[in-house]
Copies of this chain bind each other. A is one copy, B any other.
Amino acid sequence: MSEVVPRGGHVGKSRRKELSEAALAMIAERFKVLAEPARLKILHTLGDSERGVSEIIRAVGGLQANVSKHLGVLLQAGLVSRRRQGPRVFYRIADTTIFDLCEVVCASLRNRLAEQIDEIHSPGGVRRPSSRSRSRRRATRVA
Protein backbone atom coordinates (compact mmCIF):
# COMPACT_ATOMS: atom_id res chain seq x y z
CA MET A 1 0.00 0.00 0.00
CA SER A 2 2.30 2.73 1.21
CA GLU A 3 5.10 3.77 -1.06
CA VAL A 4 7.09 5.95 1.27
CA VAL A 5 10.30 4.67 2.78
CA PRO A 6 10.67 6.17 6.25
CA ARG A 7 14.27 6.96 6.94
CA GLY A 8 13.87 7.45 10.67
CA GLY A 9 16.99 7.69 12.78
CA HIS A 10 19.26 5.98 10.31
CA VAL A 11 22.73 6.86 11.47
CA GLY A 12 25.25 5.11 9.24
CA LYS A 13 25.81 5.33 5.54
CA SER A 14 23.84 3.01 3.30
CA ARG A 15 26.73 0.62 2.72
CA ARG A 16 25.33 -2.87 3.15
CA LYS A 17 27.65 -5.72 4.03
CA GLU A 18 27.36 -9.18 2.58
CA LEU A 19 26.44 -11.52 5.41
CA SER A 20 27.07 -15.24 5.23
CA GLU A 21 24.55 -17.82 6.31
CA ALA A 22 26.55 -18.49 9.45
CA ALA A 23 26.71 -14.81 10.30
CA LEU A 24 22.96 -14.49 9.92
CA ALA A 25 22.50 -17.47 12.23
CA MET A 26 24.69 -15.87 14.89
CA ILE A 27 22.89 -12.56 14.59
CA ALA A 28 19.52 -14.30 14.83
CA GLU A 29 20.66 -16.12 17.92
CA ARG A 30 21.58 -12.88 19.64
CA PHE A 31 18.22 -11.41 18.74
CA LYS A 32 16.61 -14.49 20.19
CA VAL A 33 18.36 -13.90 23.50
CA LEU A 34 17.01 -10.36 23.54
CA ALA A 35 13.51 -11.40 22.42
CA GLU A 36 12.33 -11.96 25.95
CA PRO A 37 10.83 -9.20 28.12
CA ALA A 38 12.15 -10.80 31.31
CA ARG A 39 15.72 -10.75 30.01
CA LEU A 40 15.39 -7.20 28.75
CA LYS A 41 14.12 -6.22 32.16
CA ILE A 42 17.08 -7.88 33.81
CA LEU A 43 19.50 -6.03 31.55
CA HIS A 44 17.69 -2.77 32.16
CA THR A 45 17.71 -3.40 35.88
CA LEU A 46 21.43 -4.00 35.81
CA GLY A 47 22.08 -0.76 34.00
CA ASP A 48 25.70 0.10 34.61
CA SER A 49 25.85 -1.12 38.19
CA GLU A 50 26.64 -4.53 39.57
CA ARG A 51 23.79 -6.33 41.34
CA GLY A 52 23.32 -9.51 43.31
CA VAL A 53 20.96 -12.23 42.15
CA SER A 54 18.46 -11.82 44.97
CA GLU A 55 18.37 -8.12 44.29
CA ILE A 56 17.68 -8.81 40.63
CA ILE A 57 14.94 -11.25 41.55
CA ARG A 58 13.29 -8.62 43.72
CA ALA A 59 13.54 -6.04 40.95
CA VAL A 60 12.20 -8.06 38.03
CA GLY A 61 9.83 -10.37 39.88
CA GLY A 62 9.19 -14.01 39.07
CA LEU A 63 10.54 -17.20 40.52
CA GLN A 64 14.15 -17.53 41.49
CA ALA A 65 14.60 -20.49 39.17
CA ASN A 66 13.44 -18.54 36.14
CA VAL A 67 15.55 -15.50 36.87
CA SER A 68 18.55 -17.74 37.36
CA LYS A 69 17.88 -19.44 34.06
CA HIS A 70 17.57 -16.12 32.27
CA LEU A 71 20.82 -14.99 33.84
CA GLY A 72 22.41 -18.16 32.55
CA VAL A 73 21.24 -17.42 29.02
CA LEU A 74 22.53 -13.87 29.22
CA LEU A 75 25.85 -15.10 30.61
CA GLN A 76 26.33 -17.68 27.91
CA ALA A 77 25.55 -15.06 25.28
CA GLY A 78 28.29 -12.89 26.76
CA LEU A 79 25.90 -10.05 27.54
CA VAL A 80 26.57 -10.16 31.28
CA SER A 81 29.46 -11.31 33.44
CA ARG A 82 29.53 -12.96 36.85
CA ARG A 83 31.48 -12.41 40.01
CA ARG A 84 31.35 -14.57 43.10
CA GLN A 85 31.67 -13.03 46.53
CA GLY A 86 31.17 -15.59 49.22
CA PRO A 87 27.79 -17.22 48.87
CA ARG A 88 26.47 -14.44 46.67
CA VAL A 89 26.86 -13.94 42.94
CA PHE A 90 26.93 -10.53 41.35
CA TYR A 91 26.09 -9.81 37.75
CA ARG A 92 26.93 -6.86 35.59
CA ILE A 93 26.53 -5.82 31.98
CA ALA A 94 29.38 -7.13 29.83
CA ASP A 95 28.21 -5.77 26.49
CA THR A 96 26.85 -2.25 26.45
CA THR A 97 25.81 -2.44 22.81
CA ILE A 98 22.52 -3.94 23.94
CA PHE A 99 21.48 -0.47 25.03
CA ASP A 100 22.30 0.85 21.60
CA LEU A 101 20.10 -1.87 20.14
CA CYS A 102 17.21 -0.97 22.42
CA GLU A 103 17.56 2.69 21.56
CA VAL A 104 17.45 2.01 17.84
CA VAL A 105 14.40 -0.19 18.25
CA CYS A 106 12.71 2.41 20.42
CA ALA A 107 13.24 5.09 17.82
CA SER A 108 11.86 2.81 15.14
CA LEU A 109 8.80 1.96 17.21
CA ARG A 110 8.14 5.63 17.89
CA ASN A 111 8.23 6.30 14.16
CA ARG A 112 5.89 3.44 13.48
CA LEU A 113 3.37 4.50 16.10
CA ALA A 114 3.48 8.10 14.97
CA GLU A 115 2.81 7.00 11.40
CA GLN A 116 -0.15 4.96 12.53
CA ILE A 117 -1.52 8.06 14.23
CA ASP A 118 -1.13 10.00 11.02
CA GLU A 119 -2.92 7.28 9.09
CA ILE A 120 -5.86 7.65 11.44
CA HIS A 121 -5.98 11.38 10.85
CA SER A 122 -5.82 10.98 7.08
CA PRO A 123 -7.09 7.46 6.39
CA GLY A 124 -6.43 7.24 2.65
CA GLY A 125 -2.78 8.09 2.87
CA VAL A 126 -3.30 11.63 1.55
CA ARG A 127 -0.47 12.92 -0.61
CA ARG A 128 0.28 16.38 0.75
CA PRO A 129 3.73 17.53 -0.39
CA SER A 130 3.72 20.54 1.90
CA SER A 131 3.22 18.41 5.00
CA ARG A 132 6.45 17.10 6.46
CA SER A 133 4.58 15.03 9.04
CA ARG A 134 5.81 11.85 7.40
CA SER A 135 9.52 10.99 7.28
CA ARG A 136 11.30 13.24 9.75
CA ARG A 137 9.49 12.01 12.77
CA ARG A 138 9.21 13.67 16.12
CA ALA A 139 11.13 12.25 19.02
CA THR A 140 8.54 10.94 21.44
CA ARG A 141 9.44 9.35 24.75
CA VAL A 142 8.50 5.71 24.92
CA ALA A 143 8.41 5.51 28.69
Contacts and interface: CB of A to CB of B under 8 A. Distances in A.
Interface of A: 1-3, 5-12, 14, 16-32, 34-37, 40-41, 44, 47-48, 78, 81-83, 92-97, 99-109, 111-112, 141-143
A34 B142 CA distance: 21
Chain copies in complex: 2
Contacts of A25: 37
A78 B83 CA distance: 41
A82 B6 contact: no
The 8 closest A-B pairs by CB, nearest first: A20-B143, A32-B35, A31-B35, A23-B143, A31-B34, A97-B108, A28-B37, A23-B142
Contacts of A16: 44, 47-48, 99
Given A19-B102, A24-B37, A95 B108 contact: yes
Nearest to A11: B100
Nearest to A40: B24
Contact of A48 (B14, B18, B99): B14
A105 B29 CA distance: 10
A43 to B, nearest CB: 9
A12 B34 CA distance: 20
7 contacts: A5-B96, A10-B100, A19-B44, A19-B142, A25-B37, A27-B106, A100-B104
